[in-house]
Structure 1
Amino acid sequence: MTGGPSAGPPPDGPAPVLRARGLVREFRGFRAVDGVDLDVAEGQVHALVGPNGAGKTTLFNLLTGFLRPSAGSVLLEGRRELAGRDPETIARLGVARSFQITSLFAELTPRRHVELALASRTGLGWRFWRSDRVLDRFAGRTAELLDQVGLGDHGDVPAGLLAYGRKRALELALALALDPKVLLLDEPTAGMGVEDVDRTIELVRRIRAGRTVVLVEHNMNVVASLADRVTVLQHGRVLAEGPYAEIRNDPRVITAYLGDSHAAR
């Protein structure tokens, strides 16, 4: 964990699209994130894992503007400082996120959800209510996004009636509507059965094309299936980092989080 915000890219890999240096977040004297350095390479899936209380969600919120750091820097593409910016500005710069807890409008259809998300990127603001024709211009892109996340046949079903896995797929469509360079997924398979988990793995594989994905995930089978690189957090600090095949056999990681069964695979 060395180097400041101006440190150069790693010599053995692509330049990071997202770089954090010395990130700290204190809550009344408690350091939930304690001097974290993180490099997320462009075009990769980068997983953040660790036991409960390790600081994963806090770090996630620092990267996306939902929390302001007590200290440190977050750079997008090596030049745009994200630390201290609000989530809306960060999203406009190309960093979008999903949430662990779904927050959809139960009465609105997936089609209307996505149309509104697309409209939010334009100068229309919230003038959409003046006429449905305002949203008609987004019909083609909306259909593409719904097909991409497997909701092409569910576009006109009220969101409140969708199965849980499909609600999470809709949230991915909303994030993709922002056309992000970096997509951050918070526990994308939380609460899912095996079938939905497998479907979500395939979905993330599809949507990663042309973008970078950062995910917080407890299911290590998901991490093993998707992640090019894994950062393990413990007590708000980086405990280990590397490919899954490497970190799963790290004795520190086994002790902190994964357990003996993972090390033996």
Structure 2
Amino acid sequence: MFAVSKETADERVAVRTQALTKVFRGFRAVDSVNLEVREGTVHALVGPNGAGKTTLFNLLTGFLAPTSGTITVFEEDVTGRPPEQIARRGVARSFQITSLFDSMTSREHVELALQGPTRQGFRFWRSEKLLGRNQVRVDELLGQVGLTPLADKPVGLLAYGQKRALELSLALALDPPVMLLDEPTAGMGTEDVDRTIELVRRIAAGRTVVLVDHNMHVVGSLADRVTVLQQGKVLAEGDYDEVRNDERVITAYLGEADHA
């Protein structure tokens, strides 16, 4: 289990940034962002293309080092730490673009994800028994995302929405208190979007979720709080109804998306 602060749940902040800034050759992709993500909530980051959402995600998960500012996870400073160290603090991430091995099954993917943090690592080929040592947990994770009937099917044969569900199970393998989901419904049809909303709702129980999604139906269905970014800065923040009625937000982004 990951250690967390002893503050009360209502007061506890899972992820906090203070004056977080990332500059690329003079361009301020993230500009003095102050963000507080409360434990046990779903917090959405929205904004037009180029607003800085993905850059902020990359900073929070250690794929980029900030130019200035700080990042804390349950009050522990993780600023500038590499991704594997931040993952050990209980932060797991899914990516916008799927990155799976087509010839491997869903079961094999999850088994490897479970072995990754252990001493076994990638030495699983030394014994056939090792590949099945986490069978119960593998079945649980695949069941959580609805892939039990497809557990032994090569991933290359799965539908796009099923691949995204598998990626969520890989993130869940770390049993993370915090999950960051980058465009979890990107490229999906309406039916897959609705299934993914329900899936995210289920896995959010008992943990903190930060998500980026351009689909306002997704944001409105899931988010307890919404932060709107524009040109790297926080433009507005509040619950979904507050931000969707904010004139600045309507002008910058939601004016088009709200009617979609």
The TM-score, its normalising length taken from structure 1, stands at: 0.93
Residue aligning to 2:148: 152
How far apart are 1:129 and its partner, in Å? 1.6
Aligned residue identity for 1:194: T
Matched, 1:22 2:19: yes
Residue aligning to 1:95: 91
Matched, 1:42 2:8: no
What residue ranges of structure 2 are gaps of 5+ in the alignment?
Answer: 1-6
Q: Deviations over 1:74-114 (max 9, x none)?
A: 00111x21211111111111000000000001111000000
Residue aligning to 2:60: 63
Instruction: Point out 4+ residue stretches in structure 1 off by more than 4 angstroms.
Output: none
User: How many Å separate the matches in 2 of 1:164 and 1:204?
Assistant: 16
Aligned residue identity for 1:50: G
What SS does the corresponding residue of 2:55 show, helix, strand or coil? helix
1:117 paired residue among 113, 132, 136: 113
How far apart are 1:136 and its partner, in Å? 1.5
1:53 paired residue among 50, 53, 69: 50
* Backbone CA RMSD of aligned residues: 1.4
How far apart are 1:260 and its partner, in Å? 6.3
Residue aligning to 2:222: 226
User: How many Å separate the matches in 1 of 2:81 and 2:257?
Assistant: 42
What SS does the corresponding residue of 1:247 show, helix, strand or coil? helix
Aligned residue identity for 2:47: G
1:252 paired residue among 248, 252, 256: 248
What SS does the corresponding residue of 1:153 show, helix, strand or coil? helix
Which shows bigger deviation, 131-140 or 62-71?
131-140
User: How many Å separate the matches in 1 of 2:162 and 2:115?
Assistant: 22
Q: Is the 8 A contact 2:216 2:257 kept in 1?
A: no
1:195 paired residue among 149, 166, 191: 191
Aligned residue identity for 2:172: L
What residue ranges of structure 1 are gaps of 5+ in the alignment?
Answer: 1-8
How far apart are 1:261 and its partner, in Å? 7.3
Matched, 1:31 2:28: yes
User: How many Å separate the matches in 2 of 1:258 and 1:144?
Assistant: 38
The TM-score, its normalising length taken from structure 2, stands at: 0.94
Q: Deviations over 1:197-248 (max 9, x none)?
A: 0000000010011100000010000000000000000000000000001110
Q: Deviations over 1:5-46 (max 9, x none)?
A: xxxx9xxx5321110111110111110000000000000000
Q: Is the 8 A contact 2:228 2:235 kept in 1?
A: yes
> Across the two proteins, how many residue pairs are aligned to each other?
252
